[in-house]
Amino acid sequence: MFSEYEQEVEERWGGTEAFQQSSTRTSKYTQADFAAAKVDQEAATEMFVIAYGNSYEVTSAQAQAAVVAHRQAISKWFYECSVEMQKNLALMYIQDHRFKAYYDGRVRGLAQYVHDAILAQ
């Protein structure tokens, strides 16, 4: 976990099962593990970039494959991410300027596309 956000994360989600699961998992990770997690996350994001860049509908097979890859990366490395949890994350991607900047920094409008694709599942 990134130290600059640790306090905020604990304040917001410290009492949740997802937070506990993520804390337990990541406490055992090496730098190589964190790097591998980032590779998986970036691969899912790149799938969204490709789907969006090719103007695929959010309900398309390509966009929905990105949705699945996104959820699987979270579940693999951090906590079991249900569809409902993923939909909650999608809201953050457009409401929290940091997440929005991450996605829109890749391609302008990507945050909304990711949100819409996740909600479309």
Global confidence as pTM? 0.87
pLDDT for the residue numbered 70: 98
Helices (H), 1-121: 3-13, 17-26, 31-53, 61-77, 83-95, 97-106, 110-120
pLDDT for the residue numbered 46: 98
Q: What is the CATH number of the domain that holds 116?
A: 1.10.490.50
On whether residue 81 sits in a domain, the answer given is: yes
On whether residue 4 sits in a domain, the answer given is: no
Number of domains in the chain: 1
Which helix or strand (DSSP H or E) is residue 22 part of? helix 17-26
Task: Kindly give the confidence (pLDDT) of every residue in the chain, 121 residues in length, as a single tens digit, with 9 standing for 90 and above.
Answer: 445 556 666 666 556 787 888 889 999 999 999 999 999 999 999 999 999 999 999 999 999 999 999 999 999 999 999 999 999 999 999 999 999 999 999 999 999 999 999 999 9
Residue linked to tokens 């994350």: 89
> Which residues form the domain of 38?
17-120
- φ, ψ dihedrals at 15, nearest 5°: -90, 5
